[in-house]
């Protein structure tokens, strides 16, 4: 019986030992799984640290910039506060090129039959088609008003108009008479043909004096040849330019105004080289210089001295009677201007008389003709202005910003080849767009209204969108990582404790099994000894 009991106990211990070993194997497998879990938790944590999110720019009522999450709804938002400040970002499928759109937009676009105005009608957008610019409309109104007044009809025949304009131009710009031309030449010689010295009258050459005398003779015998004018004209015409200052005793030593540092010799014969001292310091009074002296009265100041006055007293008095005149040159300018003015007025009056006679013969008065021609010209000018306006038209929206928002959307969908639906959950999600972009499923794009095409952009190249670290996810990942590690560590410690306990139990069982095996061995040995 003792042996049988030992055998039964041995079998029980062996069974228990197998159970302990199986439990130990299970715990070892769990510990290995915990190690794998730890690796996964760490990898998830690292990925969270690297995670980023999209943000898009918006503005508040004060124009201050704010960044909001880059969800589909925010990227496609219609910003009622500041419509012009932000961009609309379309989400385009990278495979078929279509744009993601809300269910309503997809339905409306499908029913529009590729017609913008059907699209707008289905959305309830109010508009007016084919509207010209304000400048075009304003110019058109002016032309129509001219037509209503009858200004668009040429009031006279071309022959009458041409003759009238010609005769009117003769009144405004009368023909120049011989006396006018003589007076103008008189004025030009004394006023404009001068050297570089300010205030010195100097004809360009000696022949100018002959021209001057010719013009004076033209004026003699006219109504202008009287009083002080006659005195001055007679004095100049009586001079023989070749004999002026022929006698050096008549004039003191002079210095030419244009050569202030050179001694001036009267009637110097340049062929007599022996009479020169230093050639660069000498000059000769030629006929042109003599005329210059004549027109200026021969009164050249030189080192405080003055040359003899060659004027007769009667001429000096005549010059002084012209206000502001200091010499004959000044007086000739006044005489020339007065005669030109008088001749111009006479010619203009004569031309006006011819014009009046012409109009009387045609049965018109000048005021009426001027008014009618002015009105017709106004109409012609207004037509030119109108024709210069752009003929292009546009759609005028009751709400311009909202209308243009949906017009761009329609054109963008057409440019992309259509649209596809995005559900509400994904449209609201702050991570859907970012995940789709990272997984190369979509790209972000804007619509170029100038080129009328989709323009692909990236977050790094467009100031209205950016990619930033997701701080919220990082904080959540930190907490989750710590919690997961604590749970894994707790389980690992628990499994280690159980394994230690199982090891102790297994050792105790093994010891008892060894003891029972020894007892059984001893019993067998004793039993077989009796039989031997």
CA distance 354 to 106: 81
Please report the pLDDT score of residue 193 as a whole number.
39
CA distance 450 to 162: 50
Please report the pLDDT score of residue 272 as a whole number.
43
Helix-strand-coil split of the chain, %, nearest 5? 60, 10, 30
Please report the pLDDT score of residue 526 as a whole number.
64
CA distance 310 to 531: 191
Please report the pLDDT score of residue 305 as a whole number.
39
Report which of 386, 387, 383 is spatially closest to residue 154, judged by C-alpha positions. 383
Which element (helix H / strand E) includes 219?
A: helix 207-219
Residues 6+ apart with CB under 8 A from 453: 415, 447
Instruction: Pull the structure tokens for residue 185.
Output: 């030449």
CA distance 234 to 358: 43
Please report the pLDDT score of residue 52 as a whole number.
67
CA distance 411 to 417: 10
pTM of the model: 0.51
Listed as ranges, residues in the chain with pLDDT below 50 are: 1, 80, 84-85, 192-204, 244-284, 298-309, 459-460
Positive or negative, the Cα torsion across 224, 230, 235, 237?
positive
Please report the pLDDT score of residue 431 as a whole number.
82
Please report the pLDDT score of residue 491 as a whole number.
73
CA distance 190 to 215: 12
């Amino acid at each position: 019986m003792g042996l049988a009991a030992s055998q039964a106990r041995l079998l029980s211990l062996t069974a228990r030992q197998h159970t302990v070993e199986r439990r130990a194997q299970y715990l070892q497998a769990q510990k290995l799984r915990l190690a794998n879990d730890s690796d996964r938790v760490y990898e998830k944590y690292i990925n969270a640290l690297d995670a980023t999110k999209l943000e898009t720019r918006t503005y508040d009522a004060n124009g201050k910039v704010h960044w909001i999450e880059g969800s589909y709804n925010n990227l496609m938002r219609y910003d009622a506060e500041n419509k012009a400040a932000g961009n609309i970002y379309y989400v385009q499928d990278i495979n078929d090129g279509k744009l993601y759109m809300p269910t309503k937009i997809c339905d409306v676009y499908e029913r529009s039959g590729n017609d913008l105005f059907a699209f707008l009608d289905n959305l309830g957008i109010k508009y007016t088609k084919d509207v010209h610019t304000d400048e075009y409309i304003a110019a058109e109104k002016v032309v129509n008003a001219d037509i209503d007044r009858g200004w668009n009809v040429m009031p006279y025949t071309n022959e009458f108009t041409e003759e009238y304009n010609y005769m009117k131009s003769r009144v405004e710009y009368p023909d120049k008479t011989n006396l006018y031309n003589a007076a103008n030449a008189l004025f030009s010689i004394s006023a404009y043909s001068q050297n570089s010295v300010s205030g010195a009258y100097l004809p360009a050459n000696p022949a100018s004096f002959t021209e001057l005398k010719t013009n004076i003779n033209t004026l003699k015998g006219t109504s202008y040849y009287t009083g002080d004018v006659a005195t001055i004209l007679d004095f100049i015409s009586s001079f023989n330019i070749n004999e002026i200052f022929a006698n050096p005793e008549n004039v003191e030593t002079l210095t030419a105004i244009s050569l202030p540092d050179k001694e001036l010799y009267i009637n110097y014969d340049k062929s007599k080289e022996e009479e020169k001292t230093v050639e660069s310091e000498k000059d000769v009074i030629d006929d042109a210089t003599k005329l210059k002296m004549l027109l200026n009265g021969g009164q050249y100041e030189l080192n405080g001295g003055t040359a003899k006055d060659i004027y007769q007293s009667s001429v000096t008095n005549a010059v002084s009677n012209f206000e502001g005149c200091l010499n004959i040159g000044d007086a000739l300018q006044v005489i020339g201007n007065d005669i030109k003015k008088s001749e111009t007025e006479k010619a203009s009056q004569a031309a006006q008389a011819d014009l009046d006679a012409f109009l009387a013969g045609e049965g018109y008065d000048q005021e009426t003709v001027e008014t009618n021609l002015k009105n017709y010209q106004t109409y012609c000018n207004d037509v030119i202005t109108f024709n210069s306006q752009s003929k292009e038209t546009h759609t005028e929206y009751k709400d311009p910003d909202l209308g243009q928002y949906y017009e761009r959307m329609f054109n963008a969908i057409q440019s992309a080849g259509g649209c596809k639906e995005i559900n509400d959950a994904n449209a609201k999600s702050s991570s859907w767009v970012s995940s789709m972009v990272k997984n190369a499923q979509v790209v972000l794009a804007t619509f170029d209204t100038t080129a009328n095409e989709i323009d692909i952009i990236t977050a790094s190249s467009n100031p209205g969108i950016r990619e930033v670290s997701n701080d919220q996810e990082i904080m959540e990942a930190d907490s989750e990582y710590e919690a997961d590690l604590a749970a894994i560590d707790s389980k690992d410690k628990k499994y280690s404790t159980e394994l230690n306990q199982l090891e102790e139990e297994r050792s105790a069982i093994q010891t008892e099994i060894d003891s029972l095996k020894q007892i059984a061995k001893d019993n067998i040995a004793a039993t077989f000894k009796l039989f031997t």
